[in-house]
């Protein structure tokens, strides 16, 4: 079993901060370079793809840089304040990076073919598509086999890191402080009896962060994709601490008893759901949360809170296959949460993400 290195023990603070900033800067440079090359290639092979997006103004790019700087500062401060160990800031799937980065390039001709043929529901004939909701059977982000193959699961984390210029984990970590605050509602319980569920856990990146921040609590994860759950199981087995319990399930029908969890998180799921499914996932989260429990949702920013980034929000579904994103950006999740029975609904933004924190009332 391997755990992330304990930086606090041998790097002084001022060097650790520079190391963190350098690490983030190198991921950003890598992401930008990758996108520049792959966008150029895509435009050569599929010229119409080049006409689908609008360029961002220098002001927007400037604002984005400010937002990413703020995100990194908050991330650093949360580690300094003990919300999670500093070592989490440096957690990176290096072996997967070296093993699968070439596959990201090798997969591109298949992506171009699907873009050219407008073929967004294409799956290998060996993939069993029985039992999934129709809205799920899509090549989200033009991914080969959608969420339903080991290849897709192996490439996913890398693709997300590239998409967000290395800021994906820093955005995921923004759920930890509000979750810990929510769990403080249960001071009488020993940590082992605190149960937290990550809905649509994917390859387990959020669970990995949660394990680092809350080493003793009982963690659970569900996702519809067996391949992503296999990957999550592999990646979570590498770190110390009890293995989270993973289950394949539709988030619209969570396979748990009423009032079971003390906290629920969900990261980057809601923009991939059609509106009725968004409401149903919120209703189910309400059902399986204990009174006093907290739900934290992290997803893309929305039109109402980031008008400066409207062009970016328009470009995203135009460039990637994201059939429910446009509606998501105008959906009122606060209203949906209150409709389900949640109270004290609060939201905040970090970089290109938005976070909702909501409580299940005690009575
Ligand atoms: C964009 S990924 C996010 C994964 C992960 N939470 C993360 O932070 O990277 C969306 C995930 O939601 C899962 N998913 C989509 N619809 C679902 C549903 N109805 N029930 C359960 N999982 C679902 C997909 O299989 C995929 O793993």
pLDDT above 90 coverage of the chain, percent = 74
Nearest CA to ligand 1 atom 9: 202
Distance 234 CA to ligand 1 centre (A): 17
More reliable by pLDDT, 1 or 40: 40
Mean pLDDT of 261-278: 98
Judge whether residue 5 has pLDDT over 60. Answer: no
**127: three-class secondary structure by DSSP:** coil
Task: Report the chain's mean pLDDT, rounded to a whole number.
Answer: 92
pLDDT of residue 316: 78
Alpha helix (H) residue ranges in the chain: 7-10, 13-45, 58-80, 94-106, 108-117, 150-163, 168-172, 176-183, 205-213, 226-237, 275-288, 310-319, 325-328, 333-340
Which atom belonging to ligand 1 lies closest to the Cα atom of 266? 6
Pocket of ligand 1 (CB under 6 A): 136, 147, 160, 172, 200-202, 205-206, 223-225, 228, 250-252, 267-269, 272
Judge whether residue 264 has pLDDT over 70. Answer: yes
**For 314-363, how does the pLDDT look when each residue is reduced to its tens digit (9 = 90+)?**
887 777 788 899 999 999 999 999 999 999 999 999 999 999 999 999 97
Judge whether residue 14 has pLDDT over 80. Answer: no
Distance 57 CA to ligand 1 centre (A): 32
**For 70-108, how does the pLDDT look when each residue is reduced to its tens digit (9 = 90+)?**
999 999 999 999 999 999 999 998 889 999 999 999 999
Mean pLDDT of 134-142: 89
Mean pLDDT of 118-123: 84
Pair 350, 70: CB distance under 8 Å: yes
Distance 269 CA to ligand 1 centre (A): 5
Radius of gyration of the chain (CA): 20
Distance 116 CA to ligand 1 centre (A): 26
CATH number of 174-359: 3.40.50.150
The ranges assigned to domains in the chain are 174-359
**Pocket test residue of 196, 224, 296, 317 for ligand 1, highest count of atoms within 8 A of CB:** 224
Distance 66 CA to ligand 1 centre (A): 29
Pair 127, 133: CB distance under 8 Å: no
pLDDT of residue 3: 46
- Cα separation, 29 vs 37, in Å, equals 12
Pair 304, 274: CB distance under 8 Å: no
The pair phi, psi for residue 293, each rounded to 5°, is: -75, 165
Most confident residue range from 4-13, 47-56, 131-140, 212-221: 212-221
pLDDT of residue 363: 78
Judge whether residue 155 has pLDDT over 90. Answer: yes
In the sheet with 261-267, reading across from the earlier edge strand, the strands are 245-248, 218-223, 195-199, 261-267, 289-300, 353-359, 343-350
Tokens representing 327 are 């509606």
Considering only 19-28, 138-147, 229-238, which range has the smallest mean pLDDT?
A: 138-147
pLDDT of residue 114: 85
């Amino acid at each position: 079993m391997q755990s992330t290195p304990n930086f606090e023990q041998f790097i002084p603070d001022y060097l650790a901060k520079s190391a963190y900033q350098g690490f983030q800067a190198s991921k950003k440079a890598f992401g930008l370079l990758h996108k520049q090359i792959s966008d150029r290639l895509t435009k050569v092979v599929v010229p119409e793809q080049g006409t689908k997006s609008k360029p961002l103004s220098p002001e927007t790019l400037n604002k984005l840089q400010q937002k990413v700087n703020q995100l990194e500062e908050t991330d650093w401060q949360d580690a300094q304040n003990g919300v999670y160990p500093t070592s989490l800031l440096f957690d990176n799937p290096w072996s997967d990076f070296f093993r699968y980065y070439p596959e990201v390039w090798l997969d591109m001709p298949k992506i171009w073919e699907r873009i050219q043929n407008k073929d967004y529901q294409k799956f290998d004939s060996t993939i069993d598509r029985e039992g999934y909701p129709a809205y799920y059977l899509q090549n989200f982000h033009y991914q080969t086999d959608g969420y339903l193959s080991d290849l897709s699961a192996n490439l996913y984390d890398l693709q997300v890191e590239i998409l967000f210029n290395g800021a994906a984990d820093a955005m995921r970590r923004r759920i930890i402080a509000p979750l810990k605050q929510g769990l403080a509602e249960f001071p009488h319980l020993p940590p082992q009896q605190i149960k937290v569920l990550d809905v649509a856990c994917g390859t387990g990146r959020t669970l990995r962060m949660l394990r680092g921040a809350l080493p003793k609590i009982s963690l659970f994860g569900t996702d519809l994709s067996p391949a992503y759950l296999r990957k999550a199981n592999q990646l979570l087995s590498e770190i110390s601490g009890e293995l989270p319990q993973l289950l394949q399930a539709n988030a619209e029908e969570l396979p748990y008893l009423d009032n079971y969890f003390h906290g629920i998180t969900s990261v980057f799921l809601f923009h991939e759901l059609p509106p009725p499914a968004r409401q149903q996932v919120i209703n189910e989260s309400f059902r399986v949360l204990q009174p006093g429990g907290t739900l934290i949702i992290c997803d893309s920013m929305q039109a109402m809170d980031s008008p400066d980034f409207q062009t970016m929000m328009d470009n995203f579904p135009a460039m990637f296959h994201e059939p429910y994103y446009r509606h998501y950006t105008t959906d009122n999740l606060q209203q949906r949460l209150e409709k389900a029975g949640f109270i004290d609904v609060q939201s905040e933004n970090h970089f290109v993400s938005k976070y909702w924190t909501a409580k299940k009332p005690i009575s």
